[in-house]
Copies of this chain bind each other. A is one copy, B any other.
Amino acid sequence: MNWIEIAGHTGAFLSSVTFIPQVYKAWQTKSVGDLSLAMILIVITSTVIWLVYGVSLVLWPVIIANTIIFFLASLLLVFKLVFK
């Protein structure tokens, strides 16, 4: 694995875990008023589209990263709708 591939895998990993601290914070505080609902909906929509793309071309990093992001963003959406 050369350094460009390492950069790609590192980027995919970081993108996958992006929303973990936000989900954790929202769960801890039960406060989501400052979170943009539009942002969450865009993230969910984009992951679905990236999954279509990734599955079509059998790009596993794209599939795995977007599956994780989809799950985390969906959790954020539930928190956004449940916590007031």
Residues of chain A touching chain B, judged by Cβ–Cβ distance below 8 Å, are 4, 7-8, 10-11, 14-15, 17-19, 21-22, 24-26, 29, 31-39, 42-43, 45-46, 49-50, 52-53, 56-57
Contact = CB atoms under 8 A, between A and B. Distances in A.
Contacts of A32: 34
- Judged by DSSP, the binding face of A is helix
Contact of A22 (B14, B35, B56): B35
Count of identical protomers in the assembly: 2
- Give the top 10 A-B pairs by smallest Cβ distance, nearest first: A21-B38, A14-B46, A34-B34, A22-B36, A7-B53, A22-B39, A11-B50, A21-B36, A11-B49, A25-B36
A18 B46 contact: yes
